Structure 1
Amino acid sequence: MPSCDLLFTNATLIDGTGATRRTGALAVTDGRIVALGDCSGWQAARTVDATGHVLAPGFIDVHTHDDSALLSTPAMAAKTSQGVTSVIAGNCGISIAPLTPTHGLPQPLMLLGEVSDYRFPSVADYRRALEASPPSVNVGLLVGHSTLRAGAMTDTTRAATAEEIEAMAAMLDQALSDGGLGMSTGLSYPASRAAPTAEVVALARVTARHPGAIYTTHMRSERDQVIEAVGETLEIGREAALPVVISHHKCIGRKNFGKTTVTLSLIDKALATQDVSLDVYPYTASSTVLLPEFVGEAERIIVTSSQPYPEQARRDLSAIAADWNVSLEEAAARLGPATAIYFQMDEGDLRRVLSHPRTMIGSDGIPGPYPHPRLWGSFPRVLGHYARELGLLTLEDAVRRMTSLPASVFGLPGRGVLEVGYAADLVLFDPEQVIDRADYTQPCEPSAGIEAVYVNGVQVWGPDGATGAAAGQFLRH
């Protein structure tokens, strides 16, 4: 009689491929799925009756800024409470490695911490730190273009010289050899906005030499020039023969609402000849560094942190500006380095992007005491609000966007699908109850309906919350 470590019975199996759900069992041994479907006759050290619950592959959060949090808060309750079992860090051009700063931190590198947090001269050093003190989730790392610029340039407000590009290329090549999944850019941020397309293409070509590597981008504009920015992104992918991912695709500002009809059309046309994907978070407010040039299109801004004025966190920028009798731009400048939530997007655009078949889910949360609720709520919000309540997606398709699609795009073999031999990254949830509970007032509320989460066969979330099990692994191609 076959035996296993863990056996789920009577589960509604949603396998991650988009296939129709079915009822069955799943067996786990040594962190791997060893049987699926009919497991009658199996003996288990532990059996879970999953009647009325969905068992799915653990969710892959493709867009995070968890680089530092993975070491400082390894239980990662913000993610495991949502069913997330793997995170992709190093997005928007900002990665914690490879960098040991000698000239301070250009914006927006402070999103990941202070100068002292950038203590990993190589991706291998960061990987070893995670392996020595594993978090509860698996980790993949992108190599940030802004991080490379900060390491190779004393002044990031200009284009890189040929020598500086060569230095960045060498750092990037080593970082990808050390296990980086690809390169990310944040071309709208001060540290990289002066970089011409040719500089990015040169580094993208280095990335393309590594099988499975990809290019992800916080584009040069998500505002008035968003259409042109999509064009630049597609050009970089073509020139480097490299798959591209457009990060948190959106159109900022009321005058740009509806432009996703154009941008998605450009993407659809490009898909005939190149590999393009997107990610999105299911909210119409964004969150990033607070900069004077970012405040113009927002209809409301909530300050979430400020180094010089920490007491102003959780307040509206407009109220702070009124207290100080200054403009919004001047208030933003005084508060910096700071972070904020910007209400500036259209629900119609969000639904259009979310519906695109190449769209994945990324939380894009900034860990901290007062984050955007997307840090804690993104995945259950898609499952509960957009799939169950609105019917925008089927539950099977929603799960596909969180599992097999990102595993394929980021080159994570053996994950993202319920299949024999695959890693037992699993989430058990109630399809009738799953929903986000975090909001802009209480942003750190765990979601409802996520019953249990397993990473490599080890339970990391359950009825009593995070278990703190050090089950995560460093992910590479």
Structure 2
Amino acid sequence: MSSLQDAKPDWIFRNARIIDGTGAPSFMGEVAVTADVITAVGPTGTISQRGANEVDLAGMALAPGFIDAHTHDDRIVLDAPDMLPKISQGVTTVVVGNCGISLAPVQFDAEPPPPMNLLGGAAAYQFPNFAAYARAVAHARPSVNVAALVGHSALRLAVMANIAVKASDAEISRMGDMLTEAMENGAVGWSTGLFYPTNAAADAEEVAALGRYVARHNGVYATHMRNEFENVLESIDEAVHTAKAAGTPLVISHHKCAGVENWGRTEQTLPKIAALAADHPINFDVYPYSAGSTNLRADLITDTYPIMISWSEPHPEMTGRYITDIAAEWGIDIHEAAARLQPAGAIYFQMDEADVRRVMRSPLSMIGSDGLPHDVHPHPRLWGTFPRVLGHYARDVGLFDLETAVHKMTGLTAKVFSLTRRGEIRPGNFADLVAFRPEIVSDLATYESPLLQSVGIDWVMVNGVPSFSTTQSTPGRAGRLVQRDT
């Protein structure tokens, strides 16, 4: 490290409002970068050296690159490594493999079952083990870093002939070997999607048994819980019980209280989680929208909240339209319309804004987009999540200050996933940085026009490489598979 500190910096950023990712008050200062490392940080005027490149950030905030705590970017980092939907938001690291869905270690002869099809068709699943996926990420060199979880559904589909039952001891052992291989080759943990049919038959005993393999490597456990509707409290108990039994930290994915009959119940769930977190490491991610998105599912079809179609294989012309309007046009009920649209995806307006804000305010919450990049008409969270937090919720609504907003998308997330030398602006950390304009940063993507790039994110650096700017035609590509602290 001393040789880097003594070398002439490659970059010095001056006159910036530095928001360092810890949640501490911001300050006016400057940052030096040499190679891929931050080598100096201090108040304005304290870095006397001249850099090979000097950048005046007057009027801008300089923060650690944002870490998207919950994505399904497993395949898009390989197929479209410029990663414009994320790098344009200031995201420099994506956590993939959520909700039990990951590309490795499973392959398919036929089309993948839902929800595995959210990552693409059979051709997308090319990786019999995690090491093969890690090599693919290194070869693609995407514009963002990748922190990877291994999905429980992927494991079950790779090992089990019948996923409608609990795994046998022999099957758990085989899945455990796959988890061990993944952790030894750079995975940061694993995930379940107990809400989904590929994962639902797994009981707490199966989950805890597999979690112990991850615990041996200090990995984290993220879960799309079994129920986010009427049984949300029981699902929290199950998630915490299995994480404690395994000995892994717990991340509850996209915490919500879904369905109109459950609106307001975050007043119960949040105190419950906070109390349980006093005895075990627990956090959760949240996206800043009151609608979710996944496959079009028969058990989610209702007329109590709007449902927009995000894609449909037999009826692509219905993409972007509401299911009630489609049903009326076809002269049938919404359940029959949903069946006719399959296979399909949907956006469900199933949450209450007050609940979303309570979850976002919690000191345990991180920001995660949960975007689905393969959808024809995706949820706007794919392109807008992070500027929406900074602009709409921090600046306009005043839900929390800018330092807290940045902490929820940087330092806190790096700590929860044990990402080595990421998430804070301090000497010795990797140079993942974002410069943005607090007064104008805003999301532009909407449910009707979801592909619009946000404004106010001026400049992004990944591992010391300029990777995005408002004047840069092609994103730079310096991302890597990020390692966890051990």
Under a length normalisation based on structure 2, what TM-score does the superposition of the two structures give? 0.96
Change (3 A) 1:186 1:408: same
Give the match's secondary structure for 2:28. Answer: strand
Q: What is the CA–CA distance in structure 1 between the aligned matches of 2:171 and 2:304, rounded to whole Å?
A: 36
Residue 35 of structure 1 deviates from its aligned partner by: 1.1
- Aligned residue in 1 for 2:273: 267
Q: What is the CA–CA distance in structure 2 between the aligned matches of 1:156 and 1:311, rounded to whole Å?
A: 34
1:57 counterpart = 2:64: yes
> Of the candidates 128, 140, 146, which is equivalent to residue 133 of structure 1?
140
- Aligned residue in 1 for 2:23: 18
- Aligned residue in 1 for 2:284: 278
Q: Which amino acid aligns with 2:196?
A: Y
> Of the candidates 329, 337, 340, which is equivalent to residue 343 of structure 2?
337
Q: What is the CA–CA distance in structure 2 between the aligned matches of 1:55 and 1:257, rounded to whole Å?
A: 37
Q: Which moved more, 1:39-48 or 1:202-211?
A: 39-48
CA contact (8 A) 2:82 2:477 kept: yes
Residue 88 of structure 1 deviates from its aligned partner by: 0.4
- Aligned residue in 1 for 2:419: 412
Q: Which structure 1 residue ranges, 5 or more long, are not aligned?
A: none
Matches within 5 A, 1:116-131: 116-131=123-138
Give the match's secondary structure for 1:452. Answer: strand
CA contact (8 A) 2:9 2:33 kept: yes
Q: Which moved more, 1:368-377 or 1:7-16?
A: 368-377
Q: What is the CA–CA distance in structure 1 between the aligned matches of 2:239 and 2:159, rounded to whole Å?
A: 23
Matches within 5 A, 1:297-312: 299-312=305-318
In the TM superposition, structure 1's runs of 4+ consecutive aligned residues that sit over 3 Å from their partners are: none
Give the match's secondary structure for 1:95. Answer: coil
Q: How many residues align?
A: 476
Residue 444 of structure 1 deviates from its aligned partner by: 1.0
Change (3 A) 1:237 1:70: same
- Aligned residue in 2 for 1:230: 236
Change (3 A) 1:179 1:298: farther
> Of the candidates 322, 325, 331, which is equivalent to residue 316 of structure 1?
322
Matches within 5 A, 1:20-419: 20-37=25-42, 38-102=45-109, 104-211=111-218, 213-296=219-302, 299-368=305-374, 369-419=376-426
Q: Which amino acid aligns with 2:34?
A: T
Give the match's secondary structure for 1:332. Answer: helix
> Of the candidates 4, 8, 20, which is equivalent to residue 3 of structure 1?
8
CA contact (8 A) 1:371 1:443 kept: yes
For the aligned residue pairs, the C-alpha RMSD in angstroms reads: 1.4
Q: What is the CA–CA distance in structure 2 between the aligned matches of 1:466 and 1:86, rounded to whole Å?
A: 21
Under a length normalisation based on structure 1, what TM-score does the superposition of the two structures give? 0.97
Q: What is the CA–CA distance in structure 1 between the aligned matches of 2:410 and 2:227, rounded to whole Å?
A: 28
Listed one character per residue, the Cα deviations across residues 5-48 of structure 1 (whole Å, up to 9, x for unaligned) are 11111011010001111011111110111111144421122111
Q: Which structure 2 residue ranges, 5 or more long, are not aligned?
A: 1-5
Q: Which amino acid aligns with 2:321?
A: R
Q: Which amino acid aligns with 2:190?
A: M
Change (3 A) 1:104 1:150: farther
Residue 324 of structure 1 deviates from its aligned partner by: 2.8
Listed one character per residue, the Cα deviations across residues 312-345 of structure 1 (whole Å, up to 9, x for unaligned) are 2111111222233333222222222211111110
Q: What is the CA–CA distance in structure 1 between the aligned matches of 2:36 and 2:465, rounded to whole Å?
A: 7
CA contact (8 A) 2:110 2:122 kept: no
Listed one character per residue, the Cα deviations across residues 149-175 of structure 1 (whole Å, up to 9, x for unaligned) are 110112222222222222211111211
CA contact (8 A) 2:77 2:140 kept: no
Q: Which amino acid aligns with 2:378?
A: P
Residue 461 of structure 1 deviates from its aligned partner by: 1.2
Q: Which moved more, 1:435-444 or 1:330-339?
A: 330-339
Change (3 A) 1:2 1:476: closer
CA contact (8 A) 1:321 1:331 kept: yes
Give the match's secondary structure for 1:160. Answer: coil
Identity %: 48
Q: What is the CA–CA distance in structure 2 between the aligned matches of 1:466 and 1:337, rounded to whole Å?
A: 36
Q: Which amino acid aligns with 1:139?
A: V
CA contact (8 A) 1:297 1:344 kept: no
Listed one character per residue, the Cα deviations across residues 123-165 of structure 1 (whole Å, up to 9, x for unaligned) are 1101101111200000011000011011011222222222222
